[in-house]
């Protein structure tokens, strides 16, 4: 699931790259490009990263640029934020975003608010990155999506990649940005290969923060998603196409600032909207999209109420069958599309 929909023979200059390798490439290139960039977190150095994202970087760049920290998110996040205020460009890895809650004061009160509170005098160019949302078989304390949590807070930029191209381009853009950026990756995508063009593999490639991407053109219904569920939306769109329903699939890429213009333009064209996310329903990303559409001119083009497909409104269960029923599946998206189209 989440696999690239086009696993045919790649075109010239196109190769298959996993999300893990794309992130590793981005870190390597940015560490090389700017000596102010450094990586810190649990097991990022000598162990090559808990998920092998930083593989080979400690050997290449040494102790000053790739730093193993104690298991203390509050401590190493504070160090990273201070380093950013002093002119460095830290990349702070959380082994899982669930434990960024240990450092939420540093992320929100220190990183997100300082530029505003200093009237622009103090920039905090820092990237907080790591796996977000549900993995597999790790129960409630390792399985919540933080897109809505961090997307709620002014002062932060929040990005959520799906493909290898998203991952590489957004990480490079985030490291180069002068604002604090939260990058929400997905552990289950790390090993998934996607096609990457020669251009996407160049050292100059970045994906602009705040711009969504239309992954599939369609005319009947707009599907808006981010992270792993984008793959589910594409799978659902392929099934529905056989029944004559053409879905337009939008990969948000960025949660904050949100590219609502791309969503509005699509709704004007399709007259129907379904949002899909792994997070909880209340105050979620889909809820925000629905509210923004309702408040704007695209609302007049809707032929039916917008429908949200979300995670179940419970802490994540441990049992596999319950876990599967808590996370949006392809069948749930198909059901939502048919509901909104009244078919």
- Of the candidates 47, 40, 34, 117, the one whose C-alpha atom is nearest the C-alpha of residue 72 is 40
Query: Alpha-carbon distance 18 to 278, whole Å?
Result: 21
Tell me which residue has tokens 């998603």.
Answer: 225
Residues 207, 204, 55, 112: is their CA dihedral positive or negative?
negative
| Catalytic residue check, 32 | no
| Catalytic residue check, 142 | yes
Interhelix angle 260-270/285-295, nearest 10 degrees: 70
Query: Alpha-carbon distance 54 to 52, whole Å?
Result: 5
CA angle 220, 209, 330 (to 5 degrees): 35
Half-sphere exposure of 335 (CA within 13 A, CB side): 8
- Residue 274, Cβ neighbours under 10 Å: how many? 26
Single out the catalytic residue among 29, 42, 93, 142. Answer: 142
Single out the catalytic residue among 42, 73, 185, 248. Answer: 73
Q: Catalytic residue positions?
A: 73, 142
């Amino acid at each position: 699931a989440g696999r690239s929909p086009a696993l045919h023979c790649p075109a010239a200059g196109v190769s298959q790259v996993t999300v893990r390798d794309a992130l590793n490439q981005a870190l390597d290139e940015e560490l090389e490009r700017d000596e102010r960039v450094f990586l810190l977190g649990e097991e990022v150095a000598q162990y090559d990263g808990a998920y092998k994202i930083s593989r080979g970087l400690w050997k290449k760049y040494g102790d000053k640029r790739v730093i193993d920290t104690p298991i203390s998110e509050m401590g190493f996040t504070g160090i990273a934020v201070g380093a950013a205020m002093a002119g460095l460009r830290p990349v702070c890895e959380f082994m899982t975003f669930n434990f960024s809650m240990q450092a939420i004061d540093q992320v929100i009160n220190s990183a997100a608010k300082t530029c505003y509170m200093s009237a622009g005098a103090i920039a905090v160019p820092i990237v907080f990155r790591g796996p977000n949302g549900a993995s597999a078989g790790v129960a409630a304390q390792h399985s919540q999506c933080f897109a809505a949590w961090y997307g709620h807070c002014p002062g932060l930029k929040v990005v959520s990649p799906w493909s290898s191209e998203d991952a590489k381009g957004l990480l490079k853009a985030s490291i180069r940005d002068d604002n604090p950026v939260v990058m929400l990756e997905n552990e289950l995508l790390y090993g998934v290969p996607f096609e990457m063009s020669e251009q996407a593999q160049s050292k100059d490639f970045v994906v602009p923060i705040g711009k969504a991407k239309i992954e599939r053109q369609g005319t009947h219904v707009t599907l808006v998603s981010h992270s792993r569920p984008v793959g589910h939306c594409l799978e659902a769109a392929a099934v529905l196409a056989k029944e004559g329903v053409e879905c337009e699939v939008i990969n948000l890429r960025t949660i904050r600032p949100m590219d609502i213009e791309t969503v509005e333009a699509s709704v004007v064209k399709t007259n129907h909207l379904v949002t899909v996310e792994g997070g909880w329903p209340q105050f979620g990303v889909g809820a925000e999209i629905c509210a923004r559409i309702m408040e704007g001119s695209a609302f007049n083009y809707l032929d039916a109420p917008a429908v949200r497909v979300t995670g179940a409104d419970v802490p994540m269960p441990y049992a596999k069958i319950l876990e599967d029923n808590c996370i949006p599946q392809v069948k749930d998206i198909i059901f939502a599309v048919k509901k909104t189209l009244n078919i």
